[in-house]
Amino acid sequence: MTRIATLPVLAAVLAAAVLAPTACKPVDLTTPATTGPAGPATPATPPPANAAALLRKLPVAEEDTGAHYERAEWGEDWPARTDGCTTRDLVLLRQAKGAQRGAGCALHCPAAKPCWVSPYDGRATADPGELEIDHRVPLNEAARSRVVAGGKPGLGATRVWSAAQKHAYYADPANLVAVTAEVNSAKSDDDPARWRPANREAWCAYATRYIQTKLKYHLTADKAERAALAQMLGTCPAK
């Protein structure tokens, strides 16, 4: 196994989705994130000891290949929040640098200055319309990942989660990131064994937050997926 290098200090972990008390009840990994005008803060990368611990906690099991996946069961449109912004708006606001917010959560960059950087490919843009919202752990990946119940991997999430739980997962900002449409299309529903960001500088954060999401929802990873995550964590910068 690739040795995991040290990582920067953790600021917080998002806990935006509130699920019913079942097998996929979220795990409280760290302290809650602080909340600013744009909503909950993006979780930072965990400290060295916690990074290794997170990877060790990730249960390994073959995927439930018979699990049925239907996108409409999880979500099609981004839900609106109490302030009138959608979940998409929240993610764009969270990643924006220098963007101005207009009426109805409309965002624009002054003087066409790039305000967003797609972390997967490093592409900068001033037009939020060029960005799509990616589920870091894809919906189909979650659907066929087994849910750990009673300490043992059970059926795939799509078989055991309720409609409310699937919708909560779909809209959980902790698992969402704004990226270019091209790279989002290329990633599709692949896991890290089959796809990873072209921008190697994004590997550390991508792998860490991917693991955090799987643990939060009690989901398993297969052997190839876990090995790929370990390799990406090995690129995390040393202190």
Q: What is the pLDDT of residues 141-185, one digit of tens each?
A: 999 999 999 999 999 999 999 999 999 999 999 999 999 999 999
Does residue 78 belong to any structural domain of this protein? Answer: yes
Distance CA 53, CA 210 (A): 14
Asked, for residue 227, whether it belongs to a domain, the answer is: yes
Q: How confident is the model at residue 49 (pLDDT cuts 50, 70, 90)?
A: low
Q: Is residue 154 part of a domain?
A: yes
pLDDT of 100 reads 86
Q: Compute how many other C-beta atoms are within 10 angstroms of the C-beta atom of residue 77.
A: 10
Q: Is position 174 within any domain?
A: yes
Give the burial string for 111-132 (b: 16+ CB within 10 Å, else e).
eeeebbbbbbbebebbebeebb
Number of domains composing the chain:
1
Classify residue 3: in a domain, yes or no. no
Give a yes or no: residue 156 inside a domain.
yes
Structural domain contains residue 13: no
Q: Is 74 exposed, middle or buried (0-12, 13-18, 19+ CB in 10 A)?
A: buried
CB-based contact 126:96 (threshold 8 Å) = no
The mean pLDDT of 205-234, rounded to a whole number, is 95
pLDDT at res. 91: 94
In a domain, 157, yes or no: yes
Q: What pTM was estimated for this model as a whole? A: 0.80
Ramachandran sector of residue 49 (left: φ over 0; alpha: ψ -120 to 50; beta: rest): alpha
pLDDT tens per residue, range 94-117? 999 988 888 878 888 887 789 999
Range of the domain at 91: 43-62+72-233
Tell me what percent of the residues of the chain surpass a pLDDT of 90: 63
